[in-house]
Structure 1
């Protein structure tokens, strides 16, 4: 990808719509990430972004964003960050997935769209999308349904998790509430446990 002043970077953010793909534990066959330190892995195998946000960003920035602008594997409706929870389990075609964390957006989104304030606004609003692990592998088609199988009993929404992770970084009770969800992604668990330790012990 080229961005400002014809600078180049390697990225997996550009996605193309396809008719079907097999979803494995590591992600969709044929998909890939460039920065494996911050993207991908079993806890981040699937990236989901709510379709409803596209109209908000188009209105705010004065032009529509391209499909799969945020590098998501799935663009969904009626699954906002406020409505889904860490640990929720969904059937997706023949596969089964589980939400693990909110997505931590990176500067590639801004570079792709040339909207310098988009990344900041995503974090401000908490409209980040979210990531999932694969519990059961299977084929996913373009017209596959995504159906809730199990809503996590602790009901910690992605929007709440984003609020704690990005904005309320000294909220001890909030951090504990997020950490209480056993299904939380390991990267977020490590970061929040470290933050909690510093707040409670100074170490």
Structure 2
């Protein structure tokens, strides 16, 4: 298990959400990148030095510090869409190899390189920016039906990472709530919502959403 690339965003206009800019245009970078906890949502800060988000209401902050997507899943989409997808094409910071990103447990911890430890927090939810970026009508529905969302991570131990670094799973919690399960429950399969509460490491806003939807 390793990082194939570390990807940093280049600001570009965002006509799809009516925002000044978007950071979805991620490109692989050479050399080490510093990783730190970005603080609360609302500032635009994320975990990787040199990167940021511009939709500060919905992205960034502690629970969405870093976004990972598996090369294996990109390859599957590449075949389905009939177009090349380089590392970073889905707006991910980390393109991984040999790691079951969607099967990762909420609260699972990954050591990357020698110092950095990240914790799986939640699934990525597709938005209008993602659909516009790929220039594919109906992409949100297609991506949602596939249920291969990739994982957001929070920073537990800061450090530096770079392409080629090994990834080691150093902790797996004692529940069965995966990234994919969270995605399915919060999008198309609300009957699964109650199962999510077994994962203490879920972001508080998702826990609140689950409780609201299962008690109304």
TM-score range, shorter chain: 0.7 to 0.9
SS at match of 1:39: coil
Unaligned runs of 5+ in 2: 1-11, 39-46
TM-score normalised by length of structure 1: 0.87
SS at match of 1:28: coil
Instruction: State the partner residue of 2:212.
Output: 194
RMSD (Å), alpha carbons: 2.0
Choose between structure 1 and 2: higher strand proportion: 2
Say if 2:130 is the partner of 1:119.
no
Instruction: State the partner residue of 1:166.
Output: 187
Say if 2:96 is the partner of 1:76.
yes
CA distance in 1 between counterparts of 2:101 and 2:209 reads: 20
Cα deviation digits, residues 88-135 of structure 1 (max 9, x gap): 011012211110111112121211121113222111111111101111
Alignment of 1:1-203 (within 5 A): 1=12, 9-18=20-29, 19-26=31-38, 27-93=47-113, 94-169=115-190, 171=191, 174-198=192-216
Unaligned runs of 5+ in 1: 199-203
Choose between structure 1 and 2: higher helix proportion: 1
Question: How many residues are aligned here?
Answer: 194
TM-score normalised by length of structure 2: 0.82
